Structure 1
Amino acid sequence: MKKNNYHVIGVMSGTSLDGIDLVEAIFTYTDTWRFEIIKAETVSYTAGWFDTLKNLVSNSLEELQVIDDDYSVFLAETIKKFISKNNITDIDAVCSHGHTALHRPEEKLTYQIGNKPILAEILKETVVCDFRVEDVELGGQGAPLVPIGDKLLFSEYDFCLNLGGFANISTEIEGERIAYDICPVNIVLNKYANQLGFNYDDGGKIAASGNYLSGLGEQLNLLNFYTETPPKSLGLEWVNTNIFPLIESFKTEEKTVLRTFSDHIAKQMALVLKPEAKVLVTGGGAYNTYIIDEIKKHVNAEIIIPNADLVEFKEALIFAFLGILKLRDEVNCLQTVTGASKNHSSGKIY
């Protein structure tokens, strides 16, 4: 039965491996959807899980299935602690993205670990999860999935730009929602910050201290992905094949890589954003002052960075919303975004 109020938990783990994002939120529907974030938290990965998740793409399918079982239990226990710690009761559902292990939509393959029925068994709650698989089966990219939330929750912005492991953008063109991945962001920057002993390049300070390597910058900007038309999406496999070998071939120091790649990110953003547009920026990269300032140099748009809860937890919030749409049997996956054969209501309910 459809109702007008939903109390849900959204769960998201991104490719930048910052941790598991958890959001308790209330969604209300009158003539439009409204939301309120009640509690939000990121639970960092242990060193063991960080290493396991970092190397997922090198595992066989059989090995992934074993990891999937363990990760599903770990994820359920993490969510259970969040519920207990915050005394959360009377929830309609836990809506979880899981963690991307493989993403090769051209081969009709996408695999998110942490989407097993054991979630519902451990939590003793309704769980909505595994949102990508059906879209890929319908010929879509299985990504990005957040744009339905942008359309229904953040329609006052011309562009919604997420700077996470990858940058993705969502906008309305001639009445249709269009969205796609633009380029890698933290999945590359964090690797080189890690090599210097930092979790990430705080505010882009290391990049700002480095030199721009024009040869590398030019080669990055010439990558074929950037000339492809949407729908299109990126995964770690693409980065491992196209980005890291190219960077390593220049044999340069980390701060030069961080400067050059940060400039590359800003240039790719500027090619997509329009002058005078109102742009909502979220994801960890919103705190990278260097990249944000470089984007502003390239394009005269109104860049809006919201409060910390929205910057850090917008994706978890929207996966909570995707779960609600699935429970209502309403469209949560747009063919104009993913390239699937039709709009559909994606996900599994346990």
Structure 2
Amino acid sequence: MLKNHYHVVGVMSGTSLDGVDLAEVFFEFNNGQWDYRFGHTFTEPYDDRRDKSWLASLVNLSPAALDEADHSYSLMLGAVINRFIKANNIKGLDAVCSHGHTALHQPKKGITRQIGNQKIIAEVLKQTVVCDFRVQDVALGGQGAPLVPIGDRLLFGNYDYCINLGGFANISFEQDGQRIAYDLCPVNIVLNELVKPLGLSYDDRGQLASQGKLIPDLLAQLNALSFYAQKPPKSLGLEWVKRNIDPLLKGQQHKTEDLLATLVEHMAMQIAAPLKSNAKLLFTGGGAYNDYLLQRIEAHKSLKIKVPERELVEYKEALIFALLGVLKLREEINCLSSVTGASKDHSSGVIFNLNI
């Protein structure tokens, strides 16, 4: 018999490489409606030099080296989750639901690989672990991304659009009875890299970008990238940035502020483009704190923007992967073919039952 109450921990590591997001979540299912409540939340930051450079280099590893990285990261992730559970005295969990970290994402080649999805995590935690949500979708001909839209539908259906501003910007909305979602453009994965030479992790509130001047030629080149003309389903990854964005920025002699201003304008144009005027938007992810980016989006389209409480801004993806795990435990659909392009809706993920 299916339960109506679930107590889980959601775990997410995103492409912006900020760290591992951990969220204790209580779910309740009543009258066909899912409700949630956050418990404890925490982000375990990655070490700037060691972890971030290592994670960014995964795309270049051989299959054997990637297997070794998977094992190492799984051990590390298990330790991080264990510390979180013990520090907050969390008991009575139904499961730990983990996204892992995307090492490779080439869905056109039928390849996606998340490290940190090994059985050893369940053994370390002595908990049921639900993980590895993307591989099955790619095997069914899908993009394996984005996966968050099922949560947008079930938890945030009162918004016209849900937009996450993380390493990449992605959008989710209902259209003709189907959930549509896709990646819009890179965001923090590019902006954060640009301010590294200044000794910064990110451009706080977009202050540096707001002081810069547009570089028209660069803006035109960015907007002309073929990805933006493609129809969804479509998704982006680090490999795409290395192939398409990095060459445009390499050798630029402009000030960092000007590069930031130009990239933010590009992002604002791409994010605003598909939106209907006066729509109600939910913005989450670290980019939701970038005041200048939000201002530039509003400059292109009249919108009703909602930036919610801190926990939802920072832990929405961990929250929704917690929900994906719960849906998998119930063997209910957690992956939508209308979003990913897979041959069918399905219940994705792997369950390691080790509640011992």
Q: TM-score, normalised by structure 1?
A: 0.99
Q: 1:207-260: per-residue Cα shift (whole Å, max 9, x none)?
A: 011111000001100000000000000000000000010122543232211110
Query: In 1, Cα distance between the equivalents of 2:148 and 2:285?
Result: 12
Query: In 2, Cα distance between the equivalents of 1:273 and 1:39?
Result: 34
Match of 2:225 in 1: 223
Query: In 2, Cα distance between the equivalents of 1:139 and 1:249?
Result: 38
**Contact 1:216–1:250 (Cα < 8 Å) also in 2:** no
Match of 2:53 in 1: 51
Superposed, which structure 2 residues align to 1:283-298 within 5 Å?
283-298=285-300
Q: Number of residues paired by the alignment? A: 350
RMSD: 0.7
**Contact 1:204–1:290 (Cα < 8 Å) also in 2:** yes
Q: 1:259-314: per-residue Cα shift (whole Å, max 9, x none)?
A: 10001000111102110110000000000000001111111010100000000000
Match of 2:272 in 1: 270
**Contact 1:203–1:288 (Cα < 8 Å) also in 2:** yes
**3-state DSSP of counterpart to 1:62:** helix
Choose 193-202 or 124-133, whichever is displaced more.
193-202
Match of 2:259 in 1: 257
**3-state DSSP of counterpart to 1:272:** coil
Consecutive unaligned residues of structure 2, counting only runs of 5 or more, are none
Q: 1:96-120: per-residue Cα shift (whole Å, max 9, x none)?
A: 0000000000000000000000010
Query: In 2, Cα distance between the equivalents of 1:168 and 1:96?
Result: 20
Query: In 1, Cα distance between the equivalents of 2:40 and 2:159?
Result: 25
**3-state DSSP of counterpart to 2:273:** helix
Query: In 1, Cα distance between the equivalents of 2:56 and 2:291?
Result: 26
- Displacement after TM superposition at 1:193 (Å): 1.1
Of residues 297, 303, 306, the one that matches 1:304 is 306
Q: 1:109-139: per-residue Cα shift (whole Å, max 9, x none)?
A: 0000000000100000000000000000000
Match of 1:202 in 2: 204
Query: In 1, Cα distance between the equivalents of 2:256 and 2:102?
Result: 27
Of residues 324, 327, 331, the one that matches 1:325 is 327
Q: 1:138-175: per-residue Cα shift (whole Å, max 9, x none)?
A: 00000000000000000000000000000000000011
Of residues 59, 62, 82, the one that matches 1:80 is 82
Aligned letter for 1:52?
W
Match of 1:242 in 2: 244
Superposed, which structure 2 residues align to 1:143-182 within 5 Å?
143-182=145-184
Aligned letter for 1:98?
G
Query: In 2, Cα distance between the equivalents of 1:133 and 1:268?
Result: 28
Match of 1:106 in 2: 108
Match of 1:34 in 2: 35
Match of 1:60 in 2: 62
Query: In 1, Cα distance between the equivalents of 2:260 and 2:62?
Result: 32
**Contact 1:147–1:177 (Cα < 8 Å) also in 2:** yes
Query: In 1, Cα distance between the equivalents of 2:308 and 2:212?
Result: 29
Choose 127-136 or 294-303, whichever is displaced more.
294-303
Match of 2:351 in 1: 349
Query: In 2, Cα distance between the equivalents of 1:134 and 1:234?
Result: 18
Q: 1:4-38: per-residue Cα shift (whole Å, max 9, x none)?
A: 00000000000000000000010000020000001
Aligned letter for 1:277?
A
- Displacement after TM superposition at 1:340 (Å): 0.1
- Displacement after TM superposition at 1:94 (Å): 0.1
Q: 1:72-114: per-residue Cα shift (whole Å, max 9, x none)?
A: 0000000000000000000000000000000000000000000
Query: In 1, Cα distance between the equivalents of 2:185 and 2:197?
Result: 21
Choose 251-260 or 165-174, whichever is displaced more.
251-260
Aligned letter for 1:280?
L
Choose 247-256 or 334-343, whichever is displaced more.
247-256
**3-state DSSP of counterpart to 2:250:** helix
Consecutive unaligned residues of structure 1, counting only runs of 5 or more, are none
Q: TM-score, normalised by structure 2?
A: 0.97
**Contact 1:158–1:279 (Cα < 8 Å) also in 2:** yes
**Contact 1:7–1:91 (Cα < 8 Å) also in 2:** yes
Query: In 2, Cα distance between the equivalents of 1:85 and 1:61?
Result: 36
Structure 1 residue ranges (4+ consecutive) displaced by more than 3 angstroms after TM superposition: none
**Identity within the alignment, %:** 56
